[in-house]
Structure 1
Amino acid sequence: MIVCPNCNHQNPDGATQCEACYTPLPVTTNCPHCAAIVQTDAAFCGQCGFDLKGSASTETEESQVSSPANPAVIPTVVSPASAPDIDVPSVDIPNLDVPEPLVAPEPLVSSEINLEKSSNPNTPAPVVEQEPLPNINAVSTPVATPAVSSPSPNGGIVVPAKTQLQQQSAQLLHIRTDTSIELPVNLSVIHIGKPNDKVPPDIDVSGFPDSEVVSRSHADIRVEADAYYLEDTGSSNGTYVNNTPLTKGNRHKLRPGDRISLGKGDLVSFLFQVS
Structure 2
Amino acid sequence: MIVCPNCNHPNPDGAVQCEACYTPLPATSNCPSCGATVQADAAFCGQCGYNLHATAAAAVAPTVAPEIPLEVQPSATPDPLLELLQPDPLENGGTTNSQAAPSPLPPTVVATPPETSIPTAPSTTIASPPPEPVTAPMEEAMAPTPEPVAAPAVTVARTQLQQVTARLIHVQSDREIELPQSLSVIHIGKQNDRIPPDIDVSGFTGSEIVSRIHADIRIEGDAHYIEDVGSSNGTYINNLPLLPGNRHRLRPGDRISLGKGDMVTFLFQIS
The TM-score with structure 2 as length reference comes to: 0.48
Of structures 1 and 2, the one scoring higher in RCO (CA 8 A, sep 6+) is 2
Larger Rg over CA atoms: 1
The TM-score with structure 1 as length reference comes to: 0.47
